[in-house]
Structure 1
Amino acid sequence: MRGRLAAIVMALLLALYLVLVGQLAVRLVLIDSGVSRALGVALMVLPIIGVWALVAELLFGLRSQRLVRLLASADELPVDTLPHRTSGRPERAAADAEFPRYRAEVEAAPGSWKAWFRLGLAYDASGDRRRARQSIRRAIALERSA
Structure 2
Amino acid sequence: MNARVGAIAMAVVLVLYLVLVGQRAVQFVLTGEPIAVAIGVALIVLPLVGVWGLAKELQFGVKSGRLATELDDAGEMPDDLPVLPSGRIDRAAADAAFPAYRARAETEPENWRAWFRLGLVYRGAGDSRRARAAVRRAIRLHDAETKRAGR
User: Do they superpose with TM above 0.5?
Assistant: yes
Following superposition, the deviation at residue 42 of structure 1 comes to 1.1
**Closer/same/farther in 2, CA of residues 48 and 128 from structure 1, 3 Å limit:** same
For structure 2, the 5+ residue unaligned runs are: 146-151
Distance 1:115 1:32 in 2: 57
Partner of 1:141: 140
User: What does the per-residue CA deviation read over 1:86-119, in whole Å, with 9 as the maximum and x for residues that have no partner?
Assistant: 7654443332111111101101201000000001
Alignment of 1:37-116 (within 5 A): 37-79=37-79, 81-82=81-82, 84=84, 89-116=88-115
Q: Secondary structure at the match of 1:111?
A: coil
Aligned AA (1:46): L
For structure 1, the 5+ residue unaligned runs are: none
Distance 1:26 1:110 in 2: 50
Q: Secondary structure at the match of 1:116?
A: helix
Following superposition, the deviation at residue 22 of structure 1 comes to 1.9
TM-score (norm 1): 0.91
CA contact (8 A) 2:121 2:131 kept: yes
The sequence identity of aligned pairs, in percent, is 54
Moved beyond 3 Å, runs of 4+: 86-91
Aligned AA (1:44): I
Report how many aligned residue pairs link the two structures.
145
CA contact (8 A) 2:118 2:131 kept: yes
Distance 2:21 2:69 in 1: 37
